[in-house]
C-alpha cells in the first residue's frame, strides 16, 4: 500500500488547519465548509502522488461528492478517505471551542492494528491516556489507518 510522503503530510496538515478555521469561523457542521477550505489549501492527496495530477483529480471528486451529500465512496479508497476526513475534521473543529472536550481517542479498525506502526500509534500517550490526542493536534494518518474514527474525550473520561 502506498503511503503519504513527508511533503504530502505537511500539505494535508496545513489544509486541515485551514479547513478547521473555516468551520470555526462559520460555526457550522456543514462538511462543505471544511471541504472548500481544505481543497483550496491543496489538502486532498493521493498517497505517493509525485506529479500532483492524481491529487488534483481527487480534489475535484471530493468537491463533487460533498456537494452531492455523499458520505462514503467504497469504490474509491482515496475519495472515501477524504470524505471521512471532512466528517471527522468538521466535528473536531467544532470541539475546539467546547471546553468539555479535551481530546480525541483514536479508534482504529482491527485490520489496521495488525500493522506494528499503527498498533504503536494506538498506544501512544501524550498525557491523556493511550491513543488520546489533544484537541489542538492535527493528526494525519497514513492510508493503512483508513476507517479510523476519532471519539471525543472529556475531562470526566480521563482517570487521574
pLDDT at 65 over 60: yes
Q: Looking at residues 95-100, what average pLDDT do you find?
A: 93
Four-point Cα dihedral 101, 112, 7, 57, nearest 10: -100
At 159 the pLDDT is: 61
Residues 111 and 92 in one domain: no
The gap from C-alpha 120 to its chain's centroid, in whole angstroms, comes to 18
Please, which pLDDT band fits residue 156 given cuts at 50, 70 and 90? confident
Residues 113 and 59 placed together within one structural domain of the fold: no
DSSP label at residue 102: E
pLDDT of 122 reads 86
CA 107 to CA 98: how far, in whole Å?
A: 21
Mean pLDDT across the chain: 93
Position 124 scores a pLDDT of: 87
| One domain, residues 18 and 83 | yes
Shared-domain flag, residues 17 and 65 = yes
Residue 15 and residue 82 in one domain: yes
Domains identified in the chain, total number: 2
What residues are paired with 101 via a beta bridge?
154
Per-residue pLDDT tens digits for 23-61: 999 999 999 999 999 999 999 999 999 999 999 999 999
Whether residues 11 and 87 share a domain: the answer is yes
What is the residue range of 73's domain?
Answer: 6-96
Q: Do 17 and 90 sit in the same domain of this protein?
A: yes
Amino acid at each position: 500500500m502506498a503511503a503519504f510522503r513527508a511533503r504530502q503530510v505537511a500539505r494535508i496538515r496545513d489544509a486541515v488547519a485551514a479547513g478547521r478555521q473555516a468551520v470555526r469561523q462559520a460555526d457550522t457542521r456543514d462538511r462543505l465548509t471544511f471541504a472548500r477550505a481544505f481543497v483550496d489549501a491543496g489538502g486532498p492527496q493521493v498517497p505517493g502522488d509525485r506529479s500532483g495530477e492524481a491529487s488534483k483529480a481527487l480534489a475535484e471528486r471530493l468537491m463533487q461528492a460533498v456537494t452531492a451529500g455523499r458520505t462514503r465512496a467504497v469504490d474509491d479508497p482515496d475519495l472515501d478517505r477524504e470524505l471521512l476526513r471532512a466528517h471527522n475534521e468538521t466535528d473536531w473543529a467544532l470541539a475546539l471551542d467546547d471546553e468539555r472536550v479535551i481530546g480525541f481517542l483514536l479508534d482504529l479498525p482491527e485490520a489496521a492494528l495488525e500493522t506494528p506502526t499503527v498498533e504503536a500509534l494506538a498506544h501512544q500517550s501524550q498525557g491523556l491516556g493511550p491513543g488520546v490526542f489533544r484537541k489542538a493536534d492535527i493528526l494525519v494518518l497514513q492510508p493503512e489507518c483508513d476507517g479510523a474514527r476519532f471519539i471525543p474525550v472529556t475531562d470526566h473520561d480521563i482517570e487521574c
